[in-house]
Structure 1
Amino acid sequence: VLRAAGRVAGYAATRPEETAALTTVGATEAMFHGKHQPGITTPLQARGHLVAFDLAAGAGRKEAAALLRRWSAVAKELMAGRPAAGGPDGPGHDTGIALDAGPSSLTVTFGFGRTFFARTGLTARLPAALDPLPAFSADALDAGRSNGDLWVQIGADDALVAFHALRALQREVADTARVRWQMNGFNRTPGATARPMTARNLMGQIDGTGNPKPSEEDFDRRVFVPASPGKPQEWMEGGSYAVVRRIRMLLDDWEKLPVDRQERVIGRRKADGAPLSGGTETTEMDLDKAGPDGRLVIPDNAHARISSPEKNGGAAMLRRPFSYHDGIAEDGAPDAGLLFICWQADPFRGFVPVQRKLDRV
């Protein structure tokens, strides 16, 4: 699990109501400068790369600052659909991987892990929200895919554009840092459906219906860090904390379940994402509704019930995941699932309370 704190730029959280033709996907541009970093409220993108770096031995605050300047310069150019010229001390030429393509909604999001602050002599600025997460009994964490000094999230609606950004940023690292771990993900491409829709995960379920909406009055309070003048975390104002988890789905077992059983596990209809209590996808769940047999229509252990803000003291997080498929595992089953990424103003008031409840199921 890695949590990252970031702030630099931003982008709108909604797509046009009318679906764009696939030929226009490349022309869509995300803003580099803004109140918040891009890649947080940006709509889900078709391709993503997550990569964590550790600073090299001997590299400190000066080297980290220089790297962040180089990264920022490259990200600004790439997000505008221009070649990566490189930072002042970087390679200085573009690889040509994304020639002929537009920006394709490319976003680059930068974050700091807990260990970054000690490595750069900034322990006085370490926010309490980056304290280690509590242990959860159902976890089987892979240390090789956990933590890191620096974290980068790349998203785009074209696979070559996304890889181009990954390669360009990696080249700028030079001897300053080394890759600690890297993961690749995907979502449905914009324009693949007749109208904009909430994404489906690899279990075929509509996933993300209950996300906080930018139109809601408390959206910023839940997702972004408020002002805290004079406090060590003052620099985080307007930033957000990400919790990243690689969740393997046991798809062979899941696909053997009849659809009605799958729906009871989730608490929503598979066809349209509507709650089992009735209505459409956006209808509020009636958690007290019982069927003719007297049993709750949305079961006690349904995911939608357990993770709902109503059952977690209002705890909420902005989920912005990618699906992943890393081939076939040794047991013959697909090594596939969810690169779960959630953003919030404080993980101990967003992610942790919800995960504790899910951990008891």
Structure 2
Amino acid sequence: MGDPVDGRAGAPGAVSRRRLLGTAGAAGAGGLALGAVGGAVARAVTTEEAPTALSSVGSTAVAFHGGHQPGITTPLQAHGHLIAFDLARGAGRKEAAALMRRWSALAAELMEGRPAEAGNHRDTGVALDAGPSSLTLTFGFGRSFFDRTGLAARRPAGLDPLPPFSADRLDPRRSNGDLWVQIGADDGLVAFHALRAVQRAAGNTASVRWQMNGFNRSPGATARPMTTRNLMGQVDGTNNPAPSEPDFDRRIFVPASSPDSADSWLAGGSYAVVRRIRMLLDDWDGLGLTEQERVIGRRKADGAPLTGGSETTQLDLERLDRDGKPVIPANAHARISAPEQNGGAAMLRRPFSYHDGIDTDGTPDAGLLFICWQADPLRGFVPVQRKLDRGDALSPFLRHEASGLFAVPGGARQGEYVGQRLLES
């Protein structure tokens, strides 16, 4: 179906959005960002009739269907929205299944760069002349979802509540939820378009519990590809598990289990821990550069360990300075959070920064929408956070203000919707 720029089918001079997506040949191979795991493969969208070329950023698309949901191993996008829903009173398993069917159809359309026409809603036209821009939509279920749908017997143990931590100042109104959606894209209007489409498609089945908006660097903003920085100015994401590592899938994705087990529906899925972490930036910025680097245990300029090398150089936790003290302090964030200091516990961190204005006292309401992925939160997030809780030098500059834990099903195959193996079991 045509999607004319001026919104009127057959308008003189109208150029359809589909025609504007023919960009791979013009963008060249540099426009491809290839994920390494099923469901996270990015590709350039092509047609034979495109007279106009999008940039490589606009043309890149991520596959919706696959063994894993998109938005987990997909490279970080520049714009993000996190949104949680609660099912409406009286809505149960049947209504939840219908909603997931609508959302899945919608996600497949949007991620291809097509108008949001799944269901009975007309497309808003917000992203009319844009390409897919690496858009991803990822869906998860909270602990309460299983009670609301009569599926408590199939709730996985990994959704047991997270323990409390000393830095927690959690607002229950902005925490948890029955359903969770992560949206990411490299264009702000494309991301907002998806957000509106998801919210509208929820209809009377579910209402918004909370929403958070985030951002990262735009692709091409740096002279060379590099790990992103957070609002403290620190390189953030060093030593993330990589899909090329032999134990990556074991650490990040839930393994297959016997077909009759309660959580067999989660095979190929993952668990997302979501934390809104406020950074006390005025306090942090009051530290000198040397103090900041000792808190983190890495150089601010390039993310390299204080013991030398480059960002990817392994921490030398045994090296002492001339006074016999560890070069990387005993309470440095990099030391305490290192996998070798936590029994190999690992999680895939995939955050967005956020800035929600200035408080009445003049301090910025800004920080990190921390999202981490793991096969088991009790072996990923929890042990690391417990150790950080006991003496991380960075903790005085952080405040955890919201929290959520969600079971994220495996990817939908062609003809399936996300969560179908649970909801139709």
1:340 match? 370
- Unpaired segments ≥5 residues, structure 2: 1-37, 45-52, 392-425
2:299 match? 269
Q: Deviations over 1:195-243 (max 9, x none)?
A: 1100000000000011111111100000000111132111111100000
TM-score of the pair, normalised by structure 1: 0.94
2:360 match? 330
Q: Distance in 2 between matches of 1:180 and 1:211?
A: 30
Q: Distance in 1 between matches of 2:323 and 2:58?
A: 53
1:165 match? 194
Total equivalences in the alignment: 345
Residue 155 (structure 1) aligned with residue 184 (structure 2):
yes
Q: Distance in 1 between matches of 2:42 and 2:291?
A: 33
Whether contact under 8 Å (1:51, 1:152) holds in the other structure is yes
Whether contact under 8 Å (2:42, 2:62) holds in the other structure is no
Residue 289 (structure 1) aligned with residue 319 (structure 2):
yes
1:212 match? 241
Indicate the RMSD between aligned Cα atoms, in angstroms. 1.5
1:3 match? none
Q: CA offset at residue 166 of structure 1?
A: 0.2
Q: Deviations over 1:269-315 (max 9, x none)?
A: 00000011111000011111111111101101100001111110000
Give 2:136's aligned amino acid: T
Whether contact under 8 Å (1:109, 1:152) holds in the other structure is yes
Q: CA offset at residue 12 of structure 1?
A: 3.7
Q: Distance in 2 between matches of 1:277 and 1:14?
A: 39
Matches within 5 A, 1:314-325: 314-325=344-355
1:110 match? 139
2:66 match? 34
Q: CA offset at residue 13 of structure 1?
A: 8.6
Whether contact under 8 Å (1:13, 1:43) holds in the other structure is no
Q: Which has the larger radius of gyration?
A: 2
1:4 match? none
TM-score of the pair, normalised by structure 2: 0.80
Q: CA offset at residue 24 of structure 1?
A: 2.1
1:74 match? 106
Whether contact under 8 Å (1:13, 1:214) holds in the other structure is no
Q: Distance in 2 between matches of 1:13 and 1:356?
A: 36
Whether contact under 8 Å (2:42, 2:60) holds in the other structure is no
Matches within 5 A, 1:76-155: 76-87=108-119, 90-91=120-121, 93-155=122-184
Residue 175 (structure 1) aligned with residue 204 (structure 2):
yes
Deviates more, 1:105-114 or 1:23-32: 23-32
Q: Distance in 2 between matches of 1:134 and 1:193?
A: 39
2:232 match? 203
- Unpaired segments ≥5 residues, structure 1: 1-8, 16-20
Give 1:354's aligned amino acid: V
| Aligned partner of residue 55 in structure 2, secondary structure | helix
